[in-house]
Structure 1
Amino acid sequence: MGELRRSATRRCVTIAAGLVLSTALAACGQNAGESASGSYPTETVKLMVPAAAGGGWDSTARAMQQVIQKKNLVAHPVEVFNVTGGGGATGLAQLQKDKGDPHALMMTGLVMIGALQRAKAPVSLKDTTPIATLTAEAEAFVVPANSKYKTIQDVVTAYKQDPTSVTFGGGTAGGSDHLVTAQLLKAAGADTSKLKYVAYSGGGEATAGILSGDVAVGVSGVSEFESQIKSGGMRLLAISTADAREVGGRPAPTLKEAGYDVNFSNWRALVAAPGLSDRDKQAVIGVIDSLHNTQEWKDLLATNGWTDFYKTGDAAQQYIKDETQRVEQLYKDLGL
């Protein structure tokens, strides 16, 4: 009888322990960093840059990787890799193969919306799970230091006199660099249909093309040209945002100050593969929230001249939807 009582007691303790453990696991499941398959991430996080190395998406992704790993925000590695082609369409199509996988993430932004619109791609950002908007950045108009163009007005005047004499160069055709150039010319009363624009697959290629004289005027995010501006290799003609700021240690002239009614920012965001469960989506957002709250991330924003533009979840999804509609209308208005 004593043994039976001891055995029954052991069973009761085991059941009680199981109930406590189940309760604890249920409570842990409410944490932002847990996915449907366990504590998130459960394997390597693969962060795709749908463009060549050296550009704005690439630098943002690698800054994220740096902070996440330095602060040990996740228990598994973060791998950044590049997929080029179609202004991001190739990478976006590849992301579709990872449906439902919270470990498959991708950089995106205004550049991609314009490129997909221009290419009439069969995929769109509707085919993703928006996680967060991250940064916004002014566009910079630059020329080599030995260029005959001293001001942005010089460029506009030359273009009006002979559109074929001025070739602009930047990121993907149809992207933010292309779009802001067309907006500048329209604001100046010039014919945007004659715009000559060379698209480069990454920031490194664009910088080489500008310095070699393959294009007369370079256009891209301020951070991509800042080191060249600071070293004297390039001359900054104007930035696209209305707010005054310094670039390369000097006050940056704006398009508004030059007399052109343009106030334009290029934003960047993070999306995941389509078909994520709400639980997995919140798990990914939890990691990005932790990233956003670090001092290291704030320092990188300041160092790179990136404006903090943080929205998550439904707010990010609505913003991307609104921007898609806005860019589509801009394309019609600008004849692109």
Structure 2
Amino acid sequence: MKKLLPFLALVFLMIFTAACSDSEEASKGADGEWTPDKAIEIVSPSGAGGGWDTTARMVGKVFNETGIIEQDIGVVNKPGGGGAVGWASIHEKEGSNTDLFVSSPPILLVPLNGQSEYGHEDFTPLSNVIADYAAFAVTADAKWDNLNELFDDMKKDPSSVTVIGASSPGSMDHIQFVKIAKAAGVDVTKIKYVSDQDGGALTALLNGSVDVYSTGVAETVEQVKAGKIKVLGVTSEERLEGDVLSDFPTVKEQGIDATFVNWRGFFGPPNMDPAAVKFYEEKFKELSESDEFAEIRKKFGWSEMYMDSAEYKAFLDEEKKDIKSLLEELGLAK
């Protein structure tokens, strides 16, 4: 019997290995490349209706409607902590090839200001897909008609103007305004910024509780159409195309030499299969080049900004250095 034990152990090992191999092959396509073997879930680390949520849903919609990805794609909202709750939920899925999330500059900002234990280095960057831009809005009857008028007042007394955004202090809506104000000569350490992460920022602007709303371009269009607000400037290199959007003056054309790009892309958990990373890179590239997604970009005022996994990682590493310097000046880096 003792002589049979090594033989039986070898047979068991061969059966186990074959079973694992069969399981692995279940996620391979006919050409031997990796394909999803179950539904893909994209986490939006925010509530419904914001930039992350809209991007995730539009991407999933185009993937499925065009057949670029045939597997079902669902979007789940996991708000909290400026994105940290959603990121933590994906980090727990280490090694998964079908759990993704959408993110943007907060994945650099939030860890740097100490509000998340996870940063971009803790995940697998897949592809960046778009560039969005900041917009600085005031009420339609505000005394300022351009950014220079606003910043002239802020140079005299930075705290006389209250700025509101949907992100926490040290995160995107705050930093995008600070970057432009700094380039205009404002003492950014004295800027009065209010965070409203419960969806009340626009209401606060309209009822006069605050003076300036720092947000994304897409979030301003309907209110501008309704005649309730005016946009003093957007942070794109050139004027955006589209209904209403083309009327928004850029920061640069007002003599302020600065821009802010709200890049937006997709990540997976740590330790994804390299074959799965390759799959998503190619699919996001196909999406980016499609006519259908070009229409989506036009609708929301987004620009094309595709990067593959390696390019995305290098870009994020460099962006983090720049952002850290600004946070340190504000005394917000941890």
Which of residues 145, 164, 167 is equivalent to 2:159?
164
Which of residues 26, 38, 45 is equivalent to 1:50?
45
**What is the CA–CA distance in structure 1 between the aligned matches of 2:68 and 2:323, rounded to whole Å?**
35
**What is the CA–CA distance in structure 2 between the aligned matches of 1:46 and 1:214, rounded to whole Å?**
39
Write the mapping of 1:96-245 to structure 2, written as runs, cut at 5 A. 96-119=91-114, 121-173=116-168, 174-201=170-197, 204-245=199-240
| Alignment deviations for residues 252-272 of structure 1 (CA, whole Å, 9 cap, x no partner) | 222223232212211111001
Q: Is 1:78 equivalent to 2:80 in the alignment?
A: no
Aligned positions, number: 305
Which of residues 245, 248, 261 is equivalent to 2:244?
248
Alignment-derived partner of residue 14 in structure 1: none
The one-letter code of the counterpart of 1:332 is E
* Superposed displacement of residue 161, structure 1: 3.1
* Superposed displacement of residue 30, structure 1: 3.9
Work out whether residues 136 and 267 of structure 1, in 8 Å CA contact, stay in contact via their aligned partners in 2: yes
Alignment-derived partner of residue 88 in structure 1: 83
Inter-CA distance 133–250: structure 2 relative to 1 (3 Å threshold)? closer
User: Per the alignment, in what secondary structure is the counterpart of residue 254 of structure 2?
Assistant: coil
Structure 1: runs of 5+ lacking an equivalent = 1-24, 35-39
Inter-CA distance 212–52: structure 2 relative to 1 (3 Å threshold)? farther
Q: Is 1:65 equivalent to 2:60 in the alignment?
A: yes
User: Per the alignment, in what secondary structure is the counterpart of residue 221 of structure 2?
Assistant: helix
User: Per the alignment, in what secondary structure is the counterpart of residue 186 of structure 1?
Assistant: helix
Which of residues 288, 296, 313 is equivalent to 1:292?
288
User: Per the alignment, in what secondary structure is the counterpart of residue 100 of structure 1?
Assistant: coil
Work out whether residues 100 and 276 of structure 1, in 8 Å CA contact, stay in contact via their aligned partners in 2: yes
**What is the CA–CA distance in structure 1 between the aligned matches of 2:236 and 2:41, rounded to whole Å?**
33
Inter-CA distance 275–319: structure 2 relative to 1 (3 Å threshold)? same
Q: Which has more radius of gyration?
A: 1
Work out whether residues 47 and 61 of structure 1, in 8 Å CA contact, stay in contact via their aligned partners in 2: yes
Inter-CA distance 312–185: structure 2 relative to 1 (3 Å threshold)? same
| Alignment deviations for residues 159-186 of structure 1 (CA, whole Å, 9 cap, x no partner) | 2333332111123222232112112222
Q: Is 1:267 equivalent to 2:263 in the alignment?
A: yes
TM-score w.r.t. the length of structure 2 is: 0.84
Which of residues 23, 27, 30 is equivalent to 1:28?
30
| Alignment deviations for residues 28-51 of structure 1 (CA, whole Å, 9 cap, x no partner) | 3443xx2xxxxx222221111112
* Superposed displacement of residue 120, structure 1: 5.1
TM-score w.r.t. the length of structure 1 is: 0.83
* Superposed displacement of residue 27, structure 1: 8.1
Alignment-derived partner of residue 323 in structure 1: 319
| RMSD (Å), alpha carbons | 2.3
Work out whether residues 285 and 306 of structure 2, in 8 Å CA contact, stay in contact via their aligned partners in 1: no
**What is the CA–CA distance in structure 1 between the aligned matches of 2:267 and 2:29, rounded to whole Å?**
27
Inter-CA distance 76–250: structure 2 relative to 1 (3 Å threshold)? closer
**What is the CA–CA distance in structure 1 between the aligned matches of 2:236 and 2:326, rounded to whole Å?**
17
User: Per the alignment, in what secondary structure is the counterpart of residue 98 of structure 1?
Assistant: coil
**What is the CA–CA distance in structure 2 between the aligned matches of 1:334 and 1:78, rounded to whole Å?**
40
**What is the CA–CA distance in structure 1 between the aligned matches of 2:54 and 2:217, rounded to whole Å?**
12
Inter-CA distance 211–53: structure 2 relative to 1 (3 Å threshold)? farther
